[in-house]
Structure 1
Amino acid sequence: MDGVGAVSSRVWTIPNVLSFFRLALVPVFLAFVVTGEDALALLVLIFSSVTDFLDGWLARRLNQVSRLGQLLDPAADRLYIFAALVGLAWREVIPWWLVAVILARDVMLAVLGVILANHGFGPLPVHHLGKVATFCLFWALPLLMLGEAYAPVAPYSLPLGWAFALWGAFLYWWAGIVYIRETARVIRLPADDSGPHSDRLDHEEVDGA
């Protein structure tokens, strides 16, 4: 990244504190979704999105990019998606099969992570399809909650929310297939005596990333 120094191992940085705060709000968000307080849930989600932008911007601005922060951000994103999916499925706004489809892909990624670790590699770089899929889901779930919270906009927000949800689930698995292919490719890489496998993987690029 331009203008950004080395990634540090620091824990207590301003961006990480924001990430911790964002993670602490996940149970609050889930409680609002489950109890049907969609307006409040949307406010929490908006606040989370703002802090998500701020912690990334501050990390670059203050030169406080850390390995912990790189783990916390995607973890928080997935937890908010998971909370929204479970809460909406609990209320029968969305079917449980959609929850299973999306969560199964994350379980598959966890398995791939174990396989990579067993071969001395770190996690794969994020593929652009995964980013687009996450973007779609982040639009889908608030749109579905908006339709539940405000009946006048439901005829518009619910169909649009479902379109984003289904497209996001499809892209989620498309990216998952790419990760499977890349995992198979990197574990077949010849041994490099110049450094550990994890260092080599840091320089590998997923196709199209």
Structure 2
Amino acid sequence: MNTKAIYAAGGGIAVAAVIVFFVLGANNNSQLPGISNSNNNNQGANSTGGASGSSSNAPNIMPPVINVKDIAVKKAGDSHANVQVTFTVKNPNNTTMILETIHYNVNVDGLRMTIGDVGQSAQGFLDSQSNLFPIVSGSTLTAKDTQTVERNSAIAGAWDKMVAGNTTFTVDGTYSYRLTAANLQTTAEDRDFSLTFP
């Protein structure tokens, strides 16, 4: 067997482990800090519902705070419009958080105008990390996604209001995130949200 190849593979794995350690929130603590779940400082519409699933031995963490910053609608012909949704996601924890996905629906007057996705879930260690979004402790990430909405008879009235800018949007869906401590213990959750804009 080729010993050089074995040593090279072992070295590559060691380098990858060190990179993961530093990127995913290495700090001086060996575990996630205990943070109260009460957050009376939420601004505007924020996430609601979701999975609780924490055991008594698991560190107490805060979920990210997700808001809709803007929804821009641009007419792209007689029967098409581009809808750009801008989300902000704040990390209230003392360690780096990884936002994996936001899967969302944009609704007007109870009618779904479009669905969209920001990011993608990692399917394993070797999966691409390019669609994951690290959010440093205390910072806010801005993520945008644009979808095309086609006017049809089922949504014509709501589509016209949306294009004219005379409506309130309801944006709902699910977001997924991971939080990794310095000891590489990872907490992952999927949470539901429902927001209105403006």
Q: TM-score, normalised by structure 1?
A: 0.23
Q: Answer 1 or 2: which has greater strand percent.
A: 2
Report which of the two structures shows the higher radius of gyration computed on alpha carbons: 2
Q: Larger relative contact order (C-alpha < 8 A, sep ≥ 6)?
A: 2
Q: TM-score, normalised by structure 2?
A: 0.23
